Chains A and B, each alone.
Chain A
């Protein structure tokens, strides 16, 4: 799985093999340039380069919408496998969980972030 930070011009700004590092970078970018918050997103791509899951914003990174399986917050959360080694969870009732349900019902399988 690859993670690209994209800007509103449609250009890749940064690329990662690790979601946590990508989210950290997204936060650091916006920390340095707060005005960029509305112009940058993080998107996941599978091994074939197909986008998967939802685009993530810096708000997602900051408000804990993406919760890692090794987080103490996993209790009462829905878990989805992102890749061979990465597992993420969304809290019940959060927008991410609703999104996951939507993906599953659309037959696309489990998305990257839910």
Chain B
């Protein structure tokens, strides 16, 4: 029996007020094209679904990006990956999402992990702070 958590019941979160979320990014320089790329989904980067993953069966997953509700979650995730010699981002960006600006979010994965769907330009413009990974 598999224990995959299937994304068959994604429930969008209604954004009635501002919400801060945190995203791992590759740079802290908004002028660097890599900055905006940090907010692009695989779909937006024109990358195919990863094989043998739910991305093959759920286009929504290919079109979303991951964020966390708490800065500690993003920070610890990045640090623990870095400790194993891998990199999923060197910085943690704080995004302030405002209602009625076209953000769609759903709780996915572990508690406090969200998938967000939005134009990457708008996501990048929502960054209000960015800090390097640190203990």
Residues of A participating in the B interface, judged by any CB pair closer than 8 Å: 2, 4-18, 21-22, 25, 28-29, 31-33, 36, 38-39, 41, 43, 45, 47-51, 53-57
- Most chain B beta-carbon neighbours within 10 Å: one of A5, A28, A43: A43
Residue pair B50, A36 in contact (C-beta under 8 Å): yes
With A11-B42, A11-B66, A54-B83 as contacts: A49 and B113 at CB distance below 8 Å: yes
List the B side residues contacting A33 at CB < 8 Å.
50-51
Query: Of B3, B64, B88, B110, which contacts A49 at CB under 8 A?
Result: B110
List the B side residues contacting A48 at CB < 8 Å.
111-112
Residue pair A13, B77 in contact (C-beta under 8 Å): no
Q: Is B134 an interface residue (CB 8 A)?
A: no
Q: Whole-angstrom distance between the alpha carbons of A4 and B108 in the complex?
A: 10
15 extra interface residue pairs, beta carbon distance < 8 Å, beyond A11-B42, A28-B52, A55-B83:
A4-B113, A6-B66, A10-B38, A10-B88, A12-B108, A12-B115, A17-B3, A18-B2, A25-B52, A43-B77, A45-B110, A47-B111, A49-B69, A49-B110, A51-B77
Residue pair A14, B111 in contact (C-beta under 8 Å): no
List 12 A–B pairs whose Cβ atoms lie within 8 Å, in order of A's numbering: A4-B113, A6-B66, A9-B38, A13-B50, A16-B4, A17-B3, A29-B53, A38-B86, A41-B88, A45-B109, A45-B110, A49-B73
Residue pair B111, A7 in contact (C-beta under 8 Å): no
List the B side residues contacting A8 at CB < 8 Å.
86-88
With A6-B88, A21-B4 as contacts: A51 and B80 at CB distance below 8 Å: yes
Across the interface, name the chain B residue whose C-beta is closest to A31.
Answer: B52
With A2-B109, A12-B113 as contacts: A55 and B86 at CB distance below 8 Å: yes
Residues of chain B in range 88-127 having any CB-CB distance to chain A below 8 Å: 88-89, 108-113, 115
Q: Is B24 an interface residue (CB 8 A)?
A: yes
Residue pair A12, B87 in contact (C-beta under 8 Å): no
List the B side residues contacting A14 at CB < 8 Å.
4, 53-54
List the A side residues contacting B87 at CB < 8 Å.
8
Q: Is B21 an interface residue (CB 8 A)?
A: no
With A15-B4, A25-B4, A49-B73 as contacts: A4 and B110 at CB distance below 8 Å: yes
Q: How far is the CB of A54 from chain B (nearest CB, A)?
A: 6
